[in-house]
Amino acid sequence: MAIEDYEKAGKIAREALETWSKRIKPGVKLLDIAEGVEAEIRAKGAKVAFPANISLNEQAAHYTPEHKCEKVFGEKDIVKLDVGVHVNGFIGDTALTVDLSGENGKLLEASEAGLAAAIAGMKPGVKVGEIGALVEQEIKKFGFKPIENLTGHKLEQFELHAGTEIPNIKTASSHTLQEGDVFAVEPFATNGAGRVSDGSQVEIFMLIEKRPVRLRESRRLMNYADEKFQGLPFAERWLYADFTSKLLLGSALKELMAFGVLHPYPVLSDAGKGLVSQAEKTVVIEKDGARVLTK
């Protein structure tokens, strides 16, 4: 049953998040954490729903280490670790923030409090815009801003973003929560602009649809992504085991983006270069409220 698969995926996601967030220390390689998370998920009989996101400081989302990345955590880094697991396409999505400086406790509390307020307010018939108001109010109590153009999202089988969003600010959206809906709820708090912008770096992609393309390597990559990732996001670094030429792979990625076959996920950062914290859990809407699945 779908709910059992969501529960299994949620449990594995939470376990991987807890285990590997504790290993985030100054001097540790980001790639070791990302690959450790992903290996644990596979070892427990599930699949990775998206590359482990490890976003630092002003970054909010969509950074995963490059192939053979040597970057290490610094003593002052604020680290967002975001983990996704799927079982038969049913996704558990969860995240937390680690403050290696020990100086930004209130910023972390703000996103956690926003998450708790959102979950407490979720039940059938409630408008999603009202949930956003709860998040915004809670984060502002701590003196920070919610990131207005990042949202939580509905989850469906093999769909990470299934249409309906859970905003982090008050909106006029009249969409109401329905019993049985599954959502990833993820408030972001910042001492910066409260809005993210796209960076130039892209390490994560998703196949949108198969289309005619020119290059043979592009066709091979398109078919490979369709079969292997089943419409879910993947990292460029995952491809190097089967695509040994960096030059040909780069050309294929570029052509597939140009032809609208692949959707790129640029690294997202606060537009004012402020520090960002994130808290996220996956929940199912039940008769009397929201039940956390990533626990």
Residue 116: the pLDDT is 98
Per the structure, the complete domain to which residue 41 belongs is given by: 2-198+273-292
**Catalytic residue among 35, 67, 161, 263, which?**
161
186-204 pLDDT, tens digit per residue, is 999 999 999 999 999 999 9
| 184 and 228 in a common domain | no
| 154 and 206 in a common domain | no
**Overall domain count for the chain:** 2
| 246 and 194 in a common domain | no
| 282 and 139 in a common domain | yes
Residue 262: the pLDDT is 98
Residue 176: the pLDDT is 97
Sheet strands (E) in the chain: 47-56, 59-61, 78-87, 90-99, 145-146, 152-154, 165-166, 182-185, 188-190, 196-207, 234-235, 262-270, 276-278, 281-286, 289-292
263 is catalytic: no
| 235 and 151 in a common domain | no
**Catalytic residue among 7, 58, 153, 270, which?**
153
| 219 and 282 in a common domain | no
In angstroms, the CA 128 to CA 145 distance is 19
280 is catalytic: yes
This model's pTM is above 0.85? yes
Q: 9: domain CATH number? A: 3.90.230.10
82 is catalytic: yes
| 210 and 84 in a common domain | no
Q: 249: domain CATH number? A: 1.10.10.10
93 is catalytic: yes
CB half-sphere exposure, 256, CA atoms < 13 A: 27
| 158 and 19 in a common domain | yes
163-183 pLDDT, tens digit per residue, is 899 999 999 998 999 999 999
| 258 and 167 in a common domain | no
35: tokens are 């690959």
Residue 220's pLDDT band, with cuts at 50, 70 and 90, is very high
**Catalytic residue among 5, 38, 40, 93, which?**
93
One-letter amino acid for residue 24 of the chain: I
**Catalytic residue among 38, 130, 181, 280, which?**
280
